[in-house]
């Protein structure tokens, strides 16, 4: 019986939309069980669109192990402002935050957004 190489299949992002301030309480609570990703997206910015596309094309995490929330920060600027205040991070767009044990343990923006950076938080 010969050995063979199996290429891991790419997973599809299961976006959870973030539209209400009250959803942040759920994210904080859920982050005590598993890391939560928040992706802040500007629908008017080509860099943000590129970052979103890059995440979608390289995503390799199950929703059960690390959910990812999508925030349209143009439409829901109040939620974006609350995220900046709650997690003590300066607003940027695009931006990702890793929320774990109720706090932001990592954040980055623009071209530094890559899906491989999340592996260390599992």
**CATH, residue 82:** 3.40.30.10
Note the pLDDT tens digit of each residue in 8-65.
Answer: 567 899 999 999 999 999 999 999 999 999 999 999 999 999 999 999 999 999 999 9
Residue ranges making up the domain that contains 35: 15-117
Residue 8 located in a structural domain: no
The count of structural domains within the chain is: 1
Residue 104 located in a structural domain: yes
Q: For the sheet containing 15-17, what is the strand order?
A: 15-17, 68-72, 36-41, 95-100, 103-109
Pairing of strands 15-17, 36-41: unpaired
SS3 assignment, position 12: coil
Residue reference for tokens 């995220």: 83
Residue 3 located in a structural domain: no
7 pLDDT higher than 70: no
Note the pLDDT tens digit of each residue in 93-122.
Answer: 999 999 999 999 999 999 999 999 999 999
């Amino acid at each position: 019986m010969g050995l063979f190489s199996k290429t891991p299949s790419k997973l599809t992002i299961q976006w959870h939309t973030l539209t209400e301030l009250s959803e942040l309480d759920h994210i904080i609570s859920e982050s005590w069980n598993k890391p939560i990703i928040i992706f802040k997206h500007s629908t008017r910015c080509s860099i943000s669109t590129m970052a979103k596309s890059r995440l979608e094309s390289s995503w390799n995490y199950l929703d059960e192990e690390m959910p990812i929330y999508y925030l349209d920060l143009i439409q829901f600027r109040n939620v974006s402002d609350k995220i900046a205040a709650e997690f003590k991070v300066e607003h940027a767009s695009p931006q990702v935050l890793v929320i774990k044990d109720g706090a932001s343990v990592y954040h980055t923006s623009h071209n530094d957004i890559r899906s491989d950076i999340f592996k260390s938080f599992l």
